[in-house]
Amino acid sequence: MAGESASPARESRAWDRNPILKVDHLSMRFGGLVAVNDVSFVAGRGEVTAVIGPNGAGKTTVFNCITGFYKPSTGRLALFHGGPATDAEVDGVTASGLAWGKSEAGALYLLERLPDHKVASWARVARTFQNIRLFSGMTILENLLVAQHMSLTTSGLLNPAAILNLPSWQRKQKGAVDRALYWLNKIGLVDRADDPAGDLPYGDQRRLEIARAMCTDPVLLCLDEPAAGLNPRESAALNELLLSIRREHQASILLIEHDMSVVMEISDHVVVLEYGSKIADGTPDEVRNDPRVIASYLGVEDEEEAVAVVEAGA
């Protein structure tokens, strides 16, 4: 296997041993602007992977490529269901020209070949947005039901059982409401289930967006700056939510974050971008002590001062 040829230090990484997403040489150009430049990294299964970097580093663009909203200029984005696929299997699917294939462990998807909605429905990658995108004129409960569209329409968009409101359909719908209630309990918004989503305070909207993404039952959850604009209390609640998602739902999390306290506390693996390129990749401890990260990400020349800032944040 290709892993064998890697250095022993890399071999020991949990994310290399059991990846869920492999980003290979991803580049994204907008006209002359290179927003993402040859970025490769791996997100481990069951882990929280944080992508950090200054504004405009290309983090959101990486997310948009992963979730199919942008078609990357070059690069491969392989997502594994069940367990990691071998490099040979990935190459096989790449050569086949198809967007997905079976692997020994389960299935693998080449996300750059899937349109956005299929990234969500087939590859089961869910996401939130940097600028919250809730269905603000629909109630909170409705938001969570729309998220279960896929599982509710397995027998077609115009399912006769649904049109006639047969008991089989009512049971199915009840299951969806129960699932929504489960998530409402988790984010503490059961009492507001019948209120429009647009009426919620900002922090609640952020958590509702995460709950909505989780209602699609994803294997990979991509969160774009979930803690942006939250106060410390809300931020702590968010950490709690994310950790419990990882614990109880076996979802892997890919996270863009500015708040170093969140990053240090909950992530297993940190990838640092700057000007579209990756400048560091490792455990939170490694990254926090990486002089390049300190100098560039924090924008501080003096290295020691930077370390102090980081540690105060953590």
Q: Which stretch binds another protein (CB under 8 A): 46-54, 73-81, 160-168, 261-269?
A: 160-168
Q: Give the type of residue at 108.
A: L
Contact residue for another protein among 150, 236, 300, 309 (CB under 8 A): 150
Site string for another protein, 163-202 (x = CB under 8 A): x-x-----------x---x--------x--xxxx-xx---
**153 contacts another protein (rule: CB under 8 A):** yes
**162 contacts another protein (rule: CB under 8 A):** yes
**159 contacts another protein (rule: CB under 8 A):** yes
Chain residues binding ligand ADP by CB under 6 A are 30, 33, 35, 53, 55-61
Cα separation of 106 and 99, whole Å? 15
Q: Indicate if the alpha-carbon torsion angle 19, 65, 25, 57 is positive or negative.
A: negative
Q: Which stretch binds Mg ion (CB under 5 A): 124-132, 241-249, 275-283, 294-302?
A: 124-132
**70 contacts another protein (rule: CB under 8 A):** yes
Query: In this structure, are strands 269-274 and 125-127 parallel, antiparallel, or unpaired?
Result: unpaired
Give the binding-site size for another protein (rule: CB under 8 A): 49
Nearest Cα to Cα of residue 181 among 148, 206, 155, 224: 148
Cα separation of 314 and 312, whole Å? 5
The residues, ordered by sequence, that sit 6+ positions from 282 with a Cβ below 8 Å of its Cβ are 269, 270, 290
63 versus 100: smaller Cβ distance to Mg ion = 63
Nearest distance from C-beta of residue 103 to another protein, angstroms: 22
Contact residue for Mg ion among 60, 64, 103, 296 (CB under 5 A): 60
Whether 200 contacts 208, CB under 8 Å? yes
Whether 222 contacts 128, CB under 8 Å? yes
CB under 8 A, 24+ apart: contacts of 99-102: none
Nearest distance from C-beta of residue 222 to Mg ion, angstroms: 12
Residue 163 binds which of Mg ion, ligand ADP, another protein, none (CB < 5-8 A, kind-dependent):
another protein
Which strands form 74-81's sheet, in the order they lie side by side? Answer: 33-44, 19-30, 74-81, 107-110, 100-102
Alpha-carbon 57 to chain mean position? 17
Q: Cβ atoms within 10 A of the Cβ of 43, count?
A: 26
Footprint of Mg ion on this chain (CB under 5 A)? 60, 130
Residues that bind another protein (CB under 8 A): 30, 60, 64, 67, 69-70, 116-118, 120-121, 126-127, 129, 133-139, 141-142, 145-150, 152-153, 157-159, 162-163, 165, 177, 181, 190, 193-196, 198-199, 212-213, 216
